[in-house]
Amino acid sequence: GAGVSQSPRYKVAKRGQDVALRCDPISGHVSLFWYQQALGQGPEFLTYFQNEAQLDKSGLPSDRFFAERPEGSVSTLKIQRTQQEDSAVYLCASSSDSNQPQHFGDGTRLSIL
């Protein structure tokens, strides 16, 4: 498809489990961003890739969060030893340049029980 694709759309995990969220950006977009959005809040920045390079990971809340984009296309956000406070919608966005408008995927709604 032509848009940003995220999978899974919904993920339920037990506290302590590891999860992996996938993002397939628009073809040719070098910039890829991950955001976390809690209910009633705006998206909070997690991390930014330019091609395969992770240029900014200052928004990752703890060392349990890890992101990669090994070939400069698909990205995976991994959360280890999940906690209840990790429950949120995780949004992926891509753009042709970090200063250009972003295109968002539908998000992954993560629920930690």
Partner 1 sequence: QKEVEQNSGPLSVPEGAIASLNCTYSDRGSQSFFWYRQYSGKSPELIMFIYSNGDKEDGRFTAQLNKASQYVSLLIRDSQPSDSATYLCAVSLTSGGSYIPTFGRGTSLIVHP
Stretch that binds partner 1, among 19-27, 61-69, 73-81, 94-102 (CB under 8 A): 94-102
Contacting partner 1 (CB under 8 A), which of 91, 94, 110, 112? 91
Q: How far is CA 104 from the centre of its chain?
A: 10
Q: What is the DSSP letter of 73?
A: S
Say whether residue 98 binds partner 1 (CB under 8 A): yes
Task: Report the residue number, 17 or 89, with the smaller CB distance to partner 1.
Answer: 89
Say whether residue 100 binds partner 1 (CB under 8 A): yes
| Start-to-end C-alpha separation, the chain | 33
Tokens 């070939």 belong to: 71
Bridging pattern class, strands 5-7 and 103-104: unpaired
Contacting partner 1 (CB under 8 A), which of 52, 56, 73, 80? 56
Say whether residue 35 binds partner 1 (CB under 8 A): yes
Beta bridge partners of 55: none
Q: What is the DSSP letter of 19?
A: E
Sites of contact with partner 1 (CB under 8 A)? 33, 35, 40-45, 48, 50, 55-56, 58, 91, 93, 98-107
